Amino acid sequence: MRVLAFSHDISLALELVSAGNSLGDVSLLITSDQEKSSEEIMGPNELLICKEIESSDQEGLVELLSSLGKEYEVLLLSGDRRGRELVGQIAQRIGGSAAVDVSSLKESNGKLVIERMTFGGKAIAIEEMSIPAVISIQKGKFKPIEGLKPSIREVKLSNFERRIELVEKREKPKVGVPLDKADIVVAVGRGFRKKEDLKLAYELADVLGGVVGSTRPLAADLKWMPEEVWIGISGVRIAPKLLIVIGASGQQQFAAGIMDSGIVVAVNTDSKAPIFEHSDYGVVMDLYQFIPILVEKLREHKGA
């Protein structure tokens, strides 16, 4: 099978190359803003460079990948929000099958067989996809591989008429170390009564040298937290060495995003909360009593 891969994040793109190598020859597409990384890219058989668009140009990428996709059996995209958005659009354009958050893939009798989580992470679905197939790969499931330097081919957009006009670009405020790369994460849930009380979680994260993440209600519904730190099957999947979950019940949507975590500590007043099923240590106590004491003890320990 011929495989085409793309991600706006070069580190994720190299994971896609590793995933695609089990199927056949892999071509990796990079855009004008990614060209500076071309000398460091090893592993794909071919490097396609488009100097006409940037990795943030979603409309241009849909057009280009849909056009190039006719030459390939499988298109691989990263399992982040931007990759998942591209999957459906491109599959529709090329008349292909689509799947997201794939953790394993192989060829069988001319078809693509994939594995991915289902039922909120409680089961693994094995699915057979027709060709061409457009899929997003779950982050962290494939490690970048060493390989030979790829051949290089420049590709262009042809007869492309834009329907979207870019009016303005604004950078989102930085939220520190990305959640999926952090060793220590403090996750907050609806147990916090008001937004100002989240300072307790930030104090704990600060003393531990970690970052703060959020459940869906605090990010999507209440808007207390930025969407970039929303943990769950529809948000960010994390795998820290230490995860402290404070005031979150641990429903399936959230639990699916923490499956690969190391040590999990849960703090909740409800001893029957689902989060305790996913925890190594559980504290049944009011977070407003427990967290200040924990922060104080940790600071005393650091000062000793």
Mean pLDDT of 133-147: 87
Evaluated on CA atoms 153, 156, 158, 164, the torsion sign reads positive
How many other C-beta atoms are found inside a 10 Å radius of the C-beta of residue 200? 21
Q: What is the pLDDT of residue 208?
A: 95
| Total count of domains within the chain | 2
Examine the domain organization and report whether 7 and 146 are in the same domain. Answer: yes
Mean pLDDT of 236-246: 93
Name residue 243's beta-bridge partners. Answer: 185, 264
Is 21 within the bounds of a domain? yes
- Of the three residues 121, 154, 187, the one that is the final residue of a domain is 154
Residue 184 has pLDDT above 80, yes or no: yes
Examine the domain organization and report whether 143 and 232 are in the same domain. Answer: no
Q: What is the pLDDT of residue 28?
A: 96
Cα gap 51→44, rounded to integer Å: 19
- Of the three residues 137, 154, 171, the one that is the final residue of a domain is 154
Higher pLDDT, 99 or 166: 99
Examine the domain organization and report whether 124 and 183 are in the same domain. Answer: no
Name the pTM for this structure. 0.77
Residue 263 has pLDDT above 90, yes or no: yes
Q: What is the pLDDT of residue 136?
A: 94
Examine the domain organization and report whether 230 and 276 are in the same domain. Answer: yes
Is 169 within the bounds of a domain? no
Examine the domain organization and report whether 29 and 66 are in the same domain. Answer: yes
Cα gap 232→225, rounded to integer Å: 14
Task: Confirm if 126 and 113 have CB atoms less than 8 A apart.
Answer: yes
Q: What is the pLDDT of residue 175?
A: 59
Examine the domain organization and report whether 103 and 183 are in the same domain. Answer: no
Examine the domain organization and report whether 132 and 31 are in the same domain. Answer: yes
Q: What is the pLDDT of residue 174?
A: 64
Supply the CATH number for residue 293's domain: 3.40.50.1220
Mean pLDDT of 206-224: 94
> pLDDT > 70: what percent of the chain?
97
Is 167 within the bounds of a domain? no
pLDDT digits (tens, 9 = 90+) for 48-69: 999 999 998 899 999 999 999 9
| 193 contact partners, CB below 8 Å, separation of at least 6 | none
Examine the domain organization and report whether 146 and 211 are in the same domain. Answer: no
pLDDT digits (tens, 9 = 90+) for 118-138: 776 678 899 999 999 999 998
Name the band, by pLDDT with cuts 50, 70 and 90, for residue 5.
Answer: very high
Higher pLDDT, 38 or 3: 3
Examine the domain organization and report whether 138 and 23 are in the same domain. Answer: yes
Supply the CATH number for residue 102's domain: 3.40.50.620
Examine the domain organization and report whether 149 and 239 are in the same domain. Answer: no
Q: What is the pLDDT of residue 161?
A: 82
pLDDT digits (tens, 9 = 90+) for 72-100: 999 999 988 889 899 999 999 999 999 99
Select the highest-mean-pLDDT range: 105-114, 122-131, 162-171, 182-191: 182-191
pLDDT digits (tens, 9 = 90+) for 21-50: 989 999 999 999 999 988 888 889 999 999
Examine the domain organization and report whether 207 and 85 are in the same domain. Answer: no
Q: What is the pLDDT of residue 236?
A: 86
Full residue range of the structural domain in which residue 186 is found: 179-303
Is 171 within the bounds of a domain? no
Is 168 within the bounds of a domain? no
Is 296 within the bounds of a domain? yes
- Of the three residues 112, 139, 154, the one that is the final residue of a domain is 154
Examine the domain organization and report whether 188 and 134 are in the same domain. Answer: no
Q: What is the mean pLDDT of the chain?
A: 90
Residue 304 has pLDDT above 60, yes or no: no
Name residue 284's beta-bridge partners. Answer: 268
Token pair of 160 as six digits = 């492309």
> pLDDT > 90: what percent of the chain?
66
Is 170 within the bounds of a domain? no
